[in-house]
A = this chain, B = another copy of it.
Amino acid sequence: MARAGSPGRKAGVDPELLWAQPERPRRGRPPAHSRATITAEAVAIADAEGLAAVTMRAVAARLGAGTMSLYSYVPNKETLLELMIDQVSGEHRLPDEPSGDWRADLRQIAREQRAMMRRHPWLPAALTARQTLGPNTLAVVEHALAALAPTGEDARARLETFSLITGFVVSYVSYELGQEQASETAGRTSGELRDAHARYLQALMAGGNHPQFAQALAAPGDPSPEAVFDRLLDRMINGLTAEA
């Protein structure tokens, strides 16, 4: 029945047991590719053309393989996405051990996460739709929990804290990328559409029903996203202290 772990077809029906699979068939035709190279190709596409451009056909084409060949390595596209997430999680640089200053460590982790998400702009969207725990992701979690040990909280609470920070980074970068993309397309559009947008906001504000929001929009020029990020991050970390 060909049940046990192997990259063979139908492998990894269980989403979790996927990670446990050794890449060793030992009999039969040797594979021409590997899960890692396939994943890397998928990541390259996503980086260059967005998550929507990651289709099984596109990935296969990059490898010079037939579309259906991918299914020898991966049970379905969903799994490929999980592999992508874990692969880029491997880029996270982890110090050998926590410094002892958990606040500094947490800041460091959050900055690293933000940098990762900016290198791979598809990551926030991919993450929010999925609940994944591959080895690389797990390594980051483990490091974070260790870094938080000096807070004296139990492991469960530390996991919550870390999730809180991660959630913050995800939503911040999502917003950040959304803004960048919006102003980018706004600059590129012929003017007609750009004006319509401006007029819409103008009309909204002129209505006088949203004075607060109008004020927020009218605020002086962009502060650097880094500065805002750091400030919000510090606020969050402060909040954690308050109770601990």
By a beta-carbon cutoff of 8 Å, the part of chain A in contact with chain B is 13-14, 16-17, 19-20, 124-125, 128-129, 131, 138, 141-142, 145-146, 149, 154-156, 158-160, 163-164, 166-168, 170-172, 174-175, 178, 182, 193, 196-197, 199-201, 203-204, 209-213, 215-216, 218-219, 228, 231-232, 234-243
**How many monomers of this chain does the complex have?**
2
Residue of B nearest to A125 (CB): B129
A-B contact pairs, 15 of them (CB 8 A): A16-B197, A17-B196, A17-B197, A125-B129, A128-B128, A138-B204, A142-B211, A155-B213, A164-B235, A167-B167, A167-B168, A171-B171, A236-B236, A238-B238, A241-B242
Question: Once bound together, how far apart are the Cα atoms of A178 and B15, in whole Å?
Answer: 14
Q: Are A145 and B232 in contact (CB under 8 A)?
A: no
Complex CA distance for A234 and B197, rounded to whole angstroms = 37
Cβ-neighbour of A158 out of B14, B200, B216 (below 8 A): B216
Chain A interface mostly: helix
Within 8 Å by CB of A155, from B145, B216, B237, lies: B216
Tell me if B125 and A159 are in contact (CB < 8 A). no
CB distance from A169 to the nearest CB of B (A): 9
B128 touching A213, Cβ below 8 Å? no
Kindly report which residue of chain B lies nearest to residue A164, judged by CB atoms.
B232
**B145 to A163, Cβ gap below 8 A?**
no
Counting chain B CB atoms within 10 Å of each CB, which of A124, A213, A219 scores highest?
A: A213
Central interface residue in A178, A199, A212, A243, by most chain B CB within 10 Å = A212
